[in-house]
Amino acid sequence: MTNVGVIVGSLREGSFTKKIAKAVADQLPADYNVSLIDINLDLYNEDLDVDGKVPASWTKFREAMNNVDAVIFATPEYNRSIPGGLKNAIDVGSRPMGSSIWDKKPALIISVSPGAIGGFGANMALRQSLVFLNMPVVQQPEAYIGGVTNILDDNGEVTSQRELSYFKSIADTFVDLINKMNS
């Protein structure tokens, strides 16, 4: 069984990004175990990353991430980049030096926006960090989900067969990357 962690950069309860992440994750094979990973973490401060001072939120996050084989990152775009909470999660997971939870885990980046360019800036900013963290990332298709409010129905679900087919192609490519990394 493959364990996939889903990290959503938006902390909003009614997050469009979380709804899209769920719709994509639903396209993964039935034998994939998918879990949403909480990134509501204490801010990273290296002074706290020593025995007896590590915040419980960091420990819980690191343990959860150590149990996943691959990661779906879904992010909105804030000021042409990723939200601070997502950046903080990346930093918490990459420390202490030599103990990164990210190393060699296949990743998929999905950026989501009500605007037309689909969070391109956030997607590229996140991609830059993941390259540094040694995470192989799905290259194509790039997943920029623009006009998100037009593809969610009144219940917050994606029902358009066109969109679901696209999400399936994204999920299939992610599965191919995971399989390649495991062979």
* Tally of domains within the chain: 1
- C-alpha distance from residue 180 to each of 100, 105, 123, 173, 183 (Å): 21, 12, 23, 10, 5
Domain extent at residue 101: 2-182
| CATH number of the domain within which 63 lies | 3.40.50.360
Angle between helices 56-66 and 84-94 (to 10 degrees): 70
Other CB atoms within 10 Å distance of the CB of residue 167: 22
Convert the pLDDT of each residue in 140-163 to its tens digit.
Answer: 999 999 999 999 999 999 988 999
Other CB atoms within 10 Å distance of the CB of residue 96: 10
Predicted confidence band at 182 (pLDDT cuts at 50, 70, 90)? confident
What pLDDT does residue 76 have?
Answer: 96
